Amino acid sequence: MRSPERWLALLRIAVGFWFAKAIFTKLSITLAWGFLPVPTASDRWIHVMPLLVTKYAEGNPVGFFREFLQATVVSHTTLFAQLTAFGEAAVGLGLLFGCLTTLASAIGLFLVVNYGLAVQWQGSSQQGFHYMLIVTLIVLLAVRAGRTWGVDGWVRTHRPASWLARLPLG
């Protein structure tokens, strides 16, 4: 195989695009104190997320996770809407640009495992999608895919003495 690191970088970018869609579907801009624009979970996502989570929890055979969804996530929907929206956006941007790729992959892996636990009982298509995404994120994490066509690689090449190059997160 020629240039496997480039194929892994292409995979990293594709998965990054998939996560980065949260920027447009789950985030919006609000004015803090009436004048300071800050990103936040969109009203639509804050409204839709508890409906989805309630549906996922109703038939979930994994008892501890069903309890977590019903008792914790649904009762703190604004917090979890913010966490998922910002988490997906951060993972998307990190993978897309190859910046702190190991950290982005680990956060993405955490999100996808939780999403998979929520919907795994709904059928083989849900299971297959999440299994593939979990394996893909493990591979991206293990091979440090941001070192090719990414900020991680650029920093290691052009600024090897910087604190960012010494971090084990890229």
Reported as a single tens digit per residue, the pLDDT across 91-150 is 999 999 999 999 999 999 999 999 999 998 888 888 899 999 999 999 999 998 999 999
Whether the predicted pLDDT of 29 surpasses 80 = yes
Contacts 24+ apart (CB under 8 A), 45-52: 45/81, 45/84, 45/85, 46/77, 46/78, 46/81, 49/77, 49/80, 49/81, 49/84, 50/74, 50/77
Q: How far apart are CA 167 and CA 45, in angstroms?
A: 34
Read off the pTM.
0.91
Contact 129, 50 (CB under 8 A): no
Q: How far apart are CA 72 and CA 67, in angstroms?
A: 8
Predicted local confidence at residue 26, as pLDDT: 97
Instruction: Kindly report the average pLDDT of the chain as a whole number.
Output: 94
